[in-house]
Structures are given as C-alpha cells and as structure tokens.
Amino acid sequence: MNFLKSLLLLVLFFSGTTILNAQDSQDSPAPASPKFSAGLSIGTAFSRVSSNQLVAPITNLDFNTLSTNTKWNEAIGLHLLYHINEEYGIESGVFYDKKIINLSGNNGGANQDKETNPVFTYEFLTFPLLFKKTIGSKKVKGSFLAGPYFSLLQSSAYTNRIYTITVDSNNNYIETAKEETQNLTNASREVNFGLLLKAGAEMKATEIITPFIFGFYSQSFSKADDFTDVRATYPDAVEGDGKFSSFGISLGIYFRMK
C-alpha cells in the first residue's frame, strides 16, 4: 500500500511537470534531438532457476522430485531513456526485481510421507543498459531493447514446512507443522549479471506522454549461490550451479523531457 501511494505521487509529479512543459512548448519551438525521457512501469514476472539444488545447506532438495509452481512477482521500474534519434536510443534505470522459486511435493528424507513446500525468495535492485530500436509510424511504434544488466542483492530467504512431534500431558503424541524461514543472504550472490531482452509497442499520446507495453526475458550468467561462508560451517556442501531466468510483462509511461 505504501508503494502504491509513492507510485501515485510520482505519477502526479510527472503529470504536473508534463502539463507545465506542454504549456511552455506552445510559446517555444520544439526541442532539438537528441532528447531524454523518464518513465515509470509496473508489471509482473515469473522466475525459474537452472539447477536441481540451490543454496547450501539446503542441498538435499531434489527439484526433479518436486513440482515447480508458478509464482508471479511484481516488477517495478524507473526508466531513463536517451534518444539518439527517432529510431535509436539507449535505456537505463533501476528496477525492483523479485525472484521466487516456489516448489511443492514429496522430497523423501526423514519426513518422506509429508508434503513439503520449499520457497526460495531473492530480492534485487537491477540496473540495465539497453540498446533500443524502434520501427513504425510516428503514433504507434514497435520497440526492441537488448543489453546487459547487473543486480545487487537486497535480501534472500528460504521458507519450508517443518514437522515436529511433541508429547502432551496425557502422553499423547501430537504432530504439528509450521512454516520456518531461514535467512540466506550471506549464502547468495551479492551481484548477479546477465542479458535482458524486451519487445513491445509504444503509442505517442502527446508530444510529452508515450504509454508502452513490453514483454521481457532475462537470463543470468552468474550463479545464484555463493558458498564461501557456507563451507566454513558445512564443508561437505555440494556446489550449486543455479542461474536465474525470468519472463514477464510490464505497462508504463515515458515522459519526454526537454
């Protein structure tokens, strides 16, 4: 809710700036190319990992015996676009990038007859550097963006259902289940980097405002795990090779700046 309030304030701020710029532009010539644009977007994304195991000591999880559940995450971005000309541009910005790997099933072990529901959660701030190509008419254009990104880890956690057996005052055995969360930030890569691809369309509503819709796909080149600190406590930990991939869709608005 606080985020929605902040987003609304940002939209109102940009809208107010847009109106003032539009009024000024009536009495002044159109700005010369190249120009800058700033933008806001919000969307949703689904993430996967190319590994059958993630951060140690949770290496006993065999993803082949578990089902991967679709978990759509919010995708929030601030865009900064430099227009080389009407056809080409360079885009950067900062994005809140949440990756959740949600599993379920029976993984064997001590609780082999119990349903397990492991969830790995990673939160990044992502900074892309994308080359942009647009084609089409002046009003509606197709847009293609590609380039590298790097992400800074903000938090990482592992949550699973833990079963315990206790004895009550009448000597009856009682089984209880609870969700238990483990902080994995020190066992996750602090920096993640990879390739980001985006494709979609944008429509020029006014000289200042351009709404857009993009589908996007990202593939990391660096591993999700960092076993340096973990091996001190768990020397037999198996090295993982998990790399993230995500795909999703976002809606937003570019605000053309002078």
CA distance 174 to 167: 6
Is residue 94, in this structure, part of any structural domain at all?
Answer: yes
> What is the band of 179 on the pLDDT scale with cuts at 50, 70, 90?
confident
Is residue 185, in this structure, part of any structural domain at all?
Answer: yes
Which tens digits make up the pLDDT trace of 120-142? Answer: 899 999 999 999 999 988 789 99
> What is the band of 182 on the pLDDT scale with cuts at 50, 70, 90?
confident
Task: Write out the residue range of the structural domain in which residue 36 sits.
Answer: 32-257
Is residue 122, in this structure, part of any structural domain at all?
Answer: yes
Residue 110 reports pLDDT greater than 60: no
Residue 62 reports pLDDT greater than 80: no
Is residue 65, in this structure, part of any structural domain at all?
Answer: yes
> What is the band of 216 on the pLDDT scale with cuts at 50, 70, 90?
very high
Highest mean pLDDT among 13-27, 118-132, 223-237: 118-132
Is residue 179, in this structure, part of any structural domain at all?
Answer: yes
> For position 27, what pLDDT does the model report?
47
Residue 205 reports pLDDT greater than 60: yes
For the chain, percent of residues with pLDDT exceeding 90: 36
Is residue 59, in this structure, part of any structural domain at all?
Answer: yes
Pick the closest to residue 215 from 233, 197, 236, 189 (CA basis): 197
Residue 255 reports pLDDT greater than 70: yes
> For position 17, what pLDDT does the model report?
43
Residue 60 reports pLDDT greater than 80: no
Report the CATH number at residue 124: 2.40.160.20
What would the two tokens of residue 103 be?
A: 């599993």
Is residue 49, in this structure, part of any structural domain at all?
Answer: yes
Output the average pLDDT for the chain.
78
What average pLDDT score do residues 152-167 get? 79
Provide the number of structural domains found in the chain.
1
Is residue 20, in this structure, part of any structural domain at all?
Answer: no
In this structure, of 81-95, 209-223, 237-251, the range with the lowest mean pLDDT score is 237-251
What average pLDDT score do residues 89-97 get? 94
> For position 4, what pLDDT does the model report?
39
> What is the band of 57 on the pLDDT scale with cuts at 50, 70, 90?
low
> For position 166, what pLDDT does the model report?
67
Residue 7 reports pLDDT greater than 70: no
**DSSP secondary structure string for all residues of the chain:** -HHHHHHHHHHHHHHHHHHHHHHHHTTSPPPPSS-EEEEEEEEEEEEEESSS--STT-TT--GGGEEEEP-EEEEEEEEEEEESSSSEEEEEEEEEEEEEEEEEE---GGGTTS-B--EEEEEEEEEE-EEEEEEE-SSEEEEEEEEEEEEEEEEEEEEEEEEEEEE-TTS-EEEEEEEEEEE-GGGB-SEEEEEEEEEEEEE--SSSEEEEEEEEEEEESS-SB--TTHHHH-TTPPPP---EEEEEEEEEEEEEE-
From residue 236, how far is each of 56, 57, 120, 182 by CA, in Å? 10, 9, 21, 19
> What is the band of 183 on the pLDDT scale with cuts at 50, 70, 90?
confident
Residue 16 reports pLDDT greater than 80: no
Residue 204 reports pLDDT greater than 60: yes
What would the two tokens of residue 7 be?
A: 């987003």
CA distance 190 to 229: 12
What average pLDDT score do residues 35-49 get? 91
Highest mean pLDDT among 133-142, 193-202, 224-233: 193-202
What would the two tokens of residue 179 be?
A: 């969700």
CA distance 253 to 258: 16
